[in-house]
Chain A
């Protein structure tokens, strides 16, 4: 009874915390500008199923994709088991679904295999990060915290799976000893390997089984609340993020309606501009100037570095790293959100995403080649943020590199980016 009460309180507290964290995340994402991303629901659903659920883009790197698939499937499916654990915890039952007999045995057996694949996947992932030191897991933006975050997640998953399997092993042994309360049920293809390691006494086995049961469920509840502070949020946000993907050709950059109004007014003085959102400036200087989708993407990024690994600027040693663009955006968004909550509305803190987080040198190194966009397994678009910030630099600060200013001048005066006379445009015919 006491344990049921403790369990109930823990569960409620964990869920309350999750709700609070979720609200913070939603509020932060809503700091972004409005953008319509709900047309073509069928196509969006298909994209989500293929890219997030089907992990289509992961398979550009088959080995990592396969391991990830193991961990992903394992983690998703074992969560079905969570239902039983929660019911058992609340009502003091033990393996409430064991009555399903052969089907239950099949399920538990499958969970064990999946738990094993998660375990193996996470161990190999840890080795890739810390022993093989795969290059894309390093880089300037991969400071100690993001690297620790990644390792923490993997270690947590390993511990949870070890607890899950040890719990099953102890349970299995208790079942075969005919211990009261441990009614036979389930099948244990993996955890039976652990049997020789366990003691023979029923009391000791019960303590192990109970300890692992509690360790697993408390671990899961803690992990759930760790997500918002970690890169691991992608396990949830990958779904909305791919649903709200850009469905237009990647080469198309957004049209700035505000500029269209001004250009039309310039060409035709009688033109009355349509009312547009009256945000103060062109382009993006800080996170509030980005769209909610950009901000959702920042939260979705799991820092895998596939974008940076294919970025031509990064490959050739330039400062730009698309992953850093996303991480900076997230860090600044959290900072601004925190500020707004504390002060009942954002108070200028003398900082901005542009300049204090992302430098001009990074922005100007981009070739807009879309390799990062193509590489992202969850359809994040770092390029859009880069372009928005270039727009701010050019249209608000006239801060383009001088050679680009010269190019602008040529386009404006000669109709070509080079200094040629417009009258000579058709001279190629005489060649």
Chain B
């Protein structure tokens, strides 16, 4: 972003990478695929790079409102400093926080999730699912991230992205507004689960496996971690892949 400003340019959109997308090795691949998509369609985008900081989401869900607001206000200063108007993010947690919780602290942006952007690009004919891997007829089940689905009512955009591939979309029993959490939300990803008789991600992956999918599609880096752990726990790594919608889209377009 700083380089763009130095050149006197302004981006169409800011890509908010998020902590997982920046540091988690698996999520970094999603980040790079989103960049490939943005470049492929010729969108002018920027990242904040080292000026980006945690949105404060895990702090807020865990009850640390102080830390959340400190993070939020610092981020708002940076974003406003660059006169950012619209943001795309790969993480439903960042998405929810930036979109719904920053306005009360003075940060007003148009925020979309990358699955919404992908859907828009497909609708506009800019992404055609050509020239890459074919997903035609392959069984894909989509796991709704809580903060995209129930949290913000976005159920269709990720599904449209998959439907455009002619894939065979199979729904889990608990899907859309009834979707079962992967177990990572509410800062659970950063702590051990309380005592119980099962891990939530195992419960979820068992349900996903019932649909006999070739691919479990995710749209959240936290879900990605949990679902992959579940697939590993079930020793199904050879048969089932967990892929983000962005990765599937990039592959279908040969990016």
Contacts and interface: CB of A to CB of B under 8 A. Distances in A.
A319 interface: yes
Contacts of B73: 263-264, 267
A316 B69 contact: no
Contacts of B185: 367-369
B193 A318 contact: yes
Interface in A405-431: 406-408, 411-412, 415-418, 420, 422-429, 431
B196 A317 contact: yes
Contacts of B58: 407, 411, 417
Given A263-B73, A401-B191, A371 B180 contact: yes
B47 interface: yes
B54 interface: yes
Interface residues of A, number: 69
Interface residues on B, range: 35 or more
Q: Dominant SS at the A interface?
A: helix
Contacts of B119: none
B63 interface: yes
Which of A250, A267, A367, A371 neighbours the largest number of chain B CB atoms within 10 Å of its CB? Answer: A367
A374 B176 CA distance: 11
A315 interface: yes
Contacts of B251: none
B52 interface: yes
A366 B47 CA distance: 33
Given A318-B193, A368-B61, A411-B71, A249 B153 contact: yes
A198 interface: no
Given A318-B194, A417-B54, A411 B59 contact: yes
A420 B200 CA distance: 27
Nearest to A255: B104
B29 to A, nearest CB: 7
B117 interface: no
A260 interface: yes
Interface in B34-64: 47, 49-50, 52-54, 56, 58-64
A394 B64 contact: yes
B101 interface: yes
Interface in A12-30: none
Interface string A352-370: 0000000001001111111
Interface in A260-274: 260, 262-264, 266-267
Interface string B100-126: 110011000000000000000000000
A431 B26 CA distance: 11
B183 interface: yes
Contacts of B198: 315-317
B31 A428 contact: yes
A221 interface: no
A418 B62 CA distance: 15
Interface stretch (B143-151, B163-171, B231-239): B143-151
B83 interface: no
Contacts of B194: 313, 318-320, 361, 364-365
Contacts of B96: 249, 251-252
A392 B65 CA distance: 10
A405 to B, nearest CB: 9
A319 B52 CA distance: 37
A3 B220 CA distance: 70
A403 interface: yes
A310 interface: yes
A426 B58 CA distance: 21
A396 B177 CA distance: 34
B200 to A, nearest CB: 5
A320 B188 CA distance: 14
Given A249-B152, A259-B69, A364-B194, A418 B177 contact: no
A273 B2 CA distance: 33
A417 B19 contact: yes
A391 B49 CA distance: 31
Contact of B178 (A310, A400, A407, A412): A310
B28 A423 contact: no
B59 A370 contact: no
Contacts of A425: 17, 22-23, 49-50, 52
Given A403-B191, A411-B58, A262 B153 contact: no
B181 interface: yes
B199 A316 contact: yes
Contacts of A366: 186
B203 interface: yes
B146 A422 contact: no
Given A418-B19, A420-B23, A428-B32, A404 B192 contact: no
Given A316-B203, A371-B150, A420-B23, A404 B62 contact: yes
Contacts of A185: none
B178 A60 contact: yes
B21 interface: yes
A423 B23 CA distance: 11
Given A263-B66, A407-B59, A415-B19, 12 more contacts: A60-B178, A250-B150, A250-B152, A259-B65, A263-B69, A395-B64, A401-B192, A403-B192, A408-B59, A408-B67, A420-B23, A422-B50
